[in-house]
Amino acid sequence: MSVLLRRPAPEERPRWDRILTFSRDVWGGATRGLFFLNASSGQMPMSFVQALLAMEYMPIPLSSHSGEKVVDVGIQRTLRAIAERGGDVLLASHDGDFVPEVRDLLAIGRQVGVICFREFLNTRLAELTGDGLKIYDLEEDIGAFNAPLPRVRIIPLESFDPVRYL
């Protein structure tokens, strides 16, 4: 899934440091930024890993030989561990594969948010807003990009600015 349908220009790439800063600010308190990577090929994008480390993220390179969705499985296991140990969660994903774990966290009173492009958010995840799930848009709420992205999305009338389209 791509917002741009092409390789992004540098100003259209997410500023991961802004996402981590937002995560620290949104609920207050300590934050641990985990960044799951599929390393099943035996290779890691080391310049990206080094950049993540410099921004205080913890890269988690996972691998599997069985064709599993290693990133999804790693995130699911982490969400279950957080449910057992304690903590709140901001999950950067559009994926409905995490609905059971997110629902369980909400049921035990944890603060849970999803960071995403709203127009790509899985419907089952979106339905959990009634249970307390918070949705944060990467561009609109977090300001994770240096330039406006050419997104087609539903615009609430109260925030519609026709000048943007003229």
pLDDT at 58: 97
CATH code of the domain containing 142 = 3.40.50
Compute mean pLDDT per 10 residues along the chain, 166 residues long, and list them: 78 92 90 94 92 95 89 97 94 96 98 95 96 96 92 86 88
CA angle 95, 22, 63 (to 5 degrees): 40
Q: Are 36 and 71 within 8 A, CB to CB?
A: yes
Q: Is residue 119 part of a domain?
A: yes
Q: Is residue 5 part of a domain?
A: no
Q: Is residue 124 part of a domain?
A: yes
pLDDT at 1: 54
Largest CA distance in the chain: 52
Q: Is residue 47 part of a domain?
A: no
Q: Is residue 91 part of a domain?
A: yes
pLDDT at 112: 98
Instruction: Specify the DSSP element, H or E, that contains 124.
Output: helix 123-126
Q: How far is it, in rounded angstroms, from Cα 23 to Cα 91?
A: 10
pLDDT at 67: 79
Q: Which residues constitute the domain of residue 91?
A: 11-30+68-146
Number of domains the chain is built from: 1
Q: How far is it, in rounded angstroms, from Cα 155 to Cα 105?
A: 30
Q: What share of the chain is helix, strand, coil (3-state, %, to 5)?
A: 45, 15, 40
